[in-house]
Amino acid sequence: MNFTKKLILLTSVFCLVALGGIFVFHQNKLVISISGIAVPHHDLVAAKRAQFFSEFASRIKQPKTIILISPNHYSAGQGDIQTTDQDWDLDKGKIISNKDAISFLVEKKLVTNEPASFTDEHGIYNILGDIHNNFPNATLIPLIFKEVSEEELNKLEQSLLQSCKDCLMIASVDFSHYQPAVLADLHDDYSIRDLQLLDTKDILANAEVDSGPALALLTMWAKDHNTIQFTLKSHTNSGIIFQNPDAETTTHVFGWYERGNIVEPEKSVSFLFGGDMMFDRGIYHTFNDNFNQAFSKFGERVFWGTAASVINLEGAITTKKIEDNIQPDNLDFEFSPKIIKTLSFLHINTASLANNHSDNAGSEGITITRSLLGAAGIQPFGGATQSSVFRIAHITGNGISLAVIGMNLTYPNQDANILIPIIAELKKDPTVRVMIMPHWGEEYEKKHTLAQENTAHTWIDAGADMIIGSHPHVIEDAELYKGAPIIYSLGNLLFDQTFSRATQEGLLIGGKFTTDDLTFFGLPVQSIKYQPQFIRGERKKEILNSLYIPFKNYVVDSPAGEVVKINK
């Protein structure tokens, strides 16, 4: 063999050895790199969960102890964070608790030892079989959470690092609950983004999951173990599994944190717009100050889990005594300050005051309304006249932000062209998307007017990306102009106008902007005895088929339901 051939052979062997070393090192790195996982406890996906456990268990070193964290589904017991030092008898064996670590946490008064709270806690016991099957020698630290602050979680996590640094953390968490599949997917998109960015604060505040504290603790644990890459293995939705996207759903995320770089999610900003909300007259008479009861069939989760959650607040908050006047000619809408509690309960974070009732309590009422909304973390935008169009709501997404402008055109001498330079200035930033929520049109008319159309076209020509209107108290038609959707009227979300089916129906419009496109969908709602709820079945199809006529070339039939997707 000549020198050249020997050199080639030696070089080849060296490369193979080197590559093998890298491969082994890479595999060794994978074996020890996973610090924690997110897994659902919903037994609809028990088989998928078992498969997931088997896959990741083969990739990590067997942990000596597992920290299993879950929501406290029934708010059992006294403590906000609870544990138990009991051992767990299973069909195939026993899981022993890590009594030393548990005692350490209890002695530091970070958790309370309350075994009775674990008796029916499926967030814990649904996972135990998977743990025992894959980690038969691991001991357990179980923790269940009520509502917990970031400060409390930080203290707990630091103590866990002291007592159990090499432990594997398993967050037993189901994601979106009770929503139509298409809305659940929008919420999950937001929650998964937070996991990818390890955004602990936002998970606690805005992720629509059954335990924000459990996922927040998981992100803290990942950061302190330098395992900041979230690997999403699977995402499922019960509505899609059952091929019934209208049904109330539960969604499931399977993933883990490992060494690597932070996963950069797509640049996007999500939104959900609802129609007119009025808390006086028949609404006040029916519910008095217990306005949460009006949403007992709607729930608190609908607006939870999007960057912008927007409604039109059709009236003013006052500190004066509310007059119980249910007469139809009572058009002076003044609200109790207790509506703030309900808007917060619904996770509304943006409210339009650009309507013909926001000044019903005078200048003092306008000041009070803006002040109370702002103090609750709800951005008010717009006002009764064009002098307030400069009050714009700004919502930050991931690399894209949303500017929402409100304008009331039902008063005389309002010049819609005043928005042209405002829109143009906002659009100088290519990461800003401009949405306009005008109060306009004719009450109870299902067809928009020529004046509405001309105004909408003017704003879109100036750069507006989408227009969603209010005031007619019924769902109006829609239009697509130069690639920008116009939803002329959402109708009512909460109102006491029971004289027709049309005034008791409304729309939610949800979606998101990305760098390249806009995706949105409609969700019809109806009010029964002043209680909003989703419309399902044939009536939903009728409403959406009519709404989507202008967008027929852009409708995508996804497994979760129809959406409109427009490339920008």
Mean pLDDT of the chain: 94
Q: What share of the chain is helix, strand, coil (3-state, %, to 5)?
A: 35, 30, 35
78 in helix, strand or coil? coil
Angle (nearest 5°) at CA 449 between 444 and 454: 145
289 in helix, strand or coil? coil
Q: Would you say residue 419 has pLDDT above 50?
A: yes
Rounded Cα distance, 240 and 510, in Å = 19
Rounded Cα distance, 190 and 171, in Å = 18
Residues 386-402 have pLDDT tens digits of 999 999 999 999 999 99
pLDDT band at 568 (very low <50, low <70, confident <90, very high): confident
Q: Would you say residue 30 has pLDDT above 90?
A: no
Q: Would you say residue 75 has pLDDT above 90?
A: yes
Q: If you search the block for the tokens 């009519």, which residue do you land on? A: 546
pLDDT of res. 15: 39
Question: Are 137 and 182 contacting, i.e. CB atoms less than 8 angstroms apart?
Answer: no
Q: Would you say residue 184 has pLDDT above 90?
A: yes
Question: What's 56's DSSP letter?
Answer: H
Q: Would you say residue 354 has pLDDT above 70?
A: yes
Rounded Cα distance, 386 and 406, in Å = 9
pLDDT band at 172 (very low <50, low <70, confident <90, very high): very high
**Cβ neighbours, 10 Å, residue 78:** 9
As a whole number, mean pLDDT of residues 147-161 equals 97
563 in helix, strand or coil? strand
Cβ neighbours for 200, distance < 8 A, ≥ 6 positions apart = 150, 153, 216, 219, 220
Question: Are 74 and 120 contacting, i.e. CB atoms less than 8 angstroms apart?
Answer: yes
pLDDT band at 24 (very low <50, low <70, confident <90, very high): very low
384: tokens are: 């009764």
Rounded Cα distance, 77 and 88, in Å = 19
As a whole number, mean pLDDT of residues 490-498 equals 98
Higher per-residue pLDDT: 508 or 31: 508
415 in helix, strand or coil? coil
As a whole number, mean pLDDT of residues 338-356 equals 98
pLDDT of res. 16: 35
Residues 538-550 have pLDDT tens digits of 999 999 999 999 9
Which of 15-19, 107-111, 311-315, 376-380 is the least confident region?
A: 15-19
Question: What's 297's DSSP letter?
Answer: T
As a whole number, mean pLDDT of residues 213-217 equals 98
pLDDT of res. 275: 98
Cβ neighbours for 563, distance < 8 A, ≥ 6 positions apart = 182, 511, 519, 520, 521, 555, 556
As a whole number, mean pLDDT of residues 339-365 equals 98
84: tokens are: 């138990």
Question: Are 71 and 144 contacting, i.e. CB atoms less than 8 angstroms apart?
Answer: yes
Residues 256-307 have pLDDT tens digits of 999 999 999 999 999 999 999 999 999 999 999 899 999 999 999 999 999 9
Cβ neighbours for 498, distance < 8 A, ≥ 6 positions apart = 282, 504, 527
pLDDT of res. 438: 98
As a whole number, mean pLDDT of residues 472-493 equals 98
Rounded Cα distance, 234 and 255, in Å = 7
Higher per-residue pLDDT: 20 or 522: 522
Domains of the chain: 33-258 (3.40.830.10), 268-567 (3.60.21.10)
pLDDT of res. 33: 85
pTM: 0.93
| Distances, alpha carbon 358 to alpha carbons 99, 214, 292, 388, 408, in Å | 59, 40, 21, 12, 10
As a whole number, mean pLDDT of residues 115-144 equals 97
% of the chain residues with pLDDT over 90: 93
As a whole number, mean pLDDT of residues 168-183 equals 98
Alpha helices in 393-449 (DSSP H): 419-426
DSSP lists the bridge partners of residue 277 as 313, 494
pLDDT of res. 27: 40
Residues 248-270 have pLDDT tens digits of 999 999 999 999 999 999 999 99
